[in-house]
Amino acid sequence: MPANPRILAFRHVAHEHLGLLARIAEGEGMACEYVDWFTERDKQPEWTDADAVAVVFLGGPMNVDDTEHFPFLAREQEIIQQAVRRKIPVLGICLGAQLIARALGARVYPAGVKEIGWHAVETTPAAAGDPLFKHFRPVETVFHWHGDTVDLPEGATFLARSDRVMNQAFRYMDFVWGIQFHVEVTTKMVTEWVEVTENAREIQALSPDVTAAKILEKTPLFLPRLHDLGRATLGEYVRRAKAL
């Protein structure tokens, strides 16, 4: 392991950051460094020559195939492919999971419904043997904010589903995870997300059952358990990254 191990995180909008994962990594003696594409679109990180022991791809409002407006999305898919070849642990959250699926040759497309707020996911039988998802109960309520979904990459292990969107989580080989929902959020993050102008418009376009007020009302009910899951799953990811 490098003398100064770090996690390199690719961020697409300022408010979708590492959250709980940053705290866990720092507690394990690992630094976190961001590549902020929204301010540094032409930055070409030479992470393979540095001391990064893991890469994380965070969420964002764009579609993975919109490389004309967001050319860095193509670069990120190349980085994912490089990481897989080098056996460097990869974690994708929301858009990040979609980027992983696309980089591995799978289809990414509109889900036909937007999952926003607190909704249940159900784990598959394979989750019980997964290093990260073994901490999940058969049904958990987690935080969502996505409108696209993915087909499972060839050879991937299916880990979680929901009633609305089938492919909620998957593992590729034994060091790459894609998770459509958010285990990294904090109370502050949820509050910020519902207040972002574009996000507020998305909420207003949903059914009356989903409002910013209702999301915030449910947050203290479900966030403590999500934090337990986050500490367990993200902690496993960080420790595995350190061990490789």
- Residue pair 181/121 in contact (Cβ under 8 Å)? The answer is yes
Residue type, 47: W
The Cβ of residue 155 has, within 10 Å, a number of other Cβ atoms equal to 9
153 closest CA partner among 88, 89, 87, 80: 80
| Catalytic (active site) residue 94 | yes
Measured between alpha carbons, how far is 26 from 166 in angstroms, rounded to an integer?
A: 33
- In sign, the C-alpha dihedral spanning 124, 128, 132, 135 is positive
32: annotated active-site residue: no
Given the residues 12, 16, 182, 236, the one annotated as active site: 182
Kindly name the residue from 94, 119, 135, 140 that is annotated as catalytic: 94
**CA separation for the pair 24, 30 (Å, rounded):** 9
Is 184 one of the catalytic residues? Answer: yes
Quick one: CA dihedral 168, 240, 238, 50, positive or negative?
Answer: negative
- Positions annotated as catalytic residues are 94, 182, 184
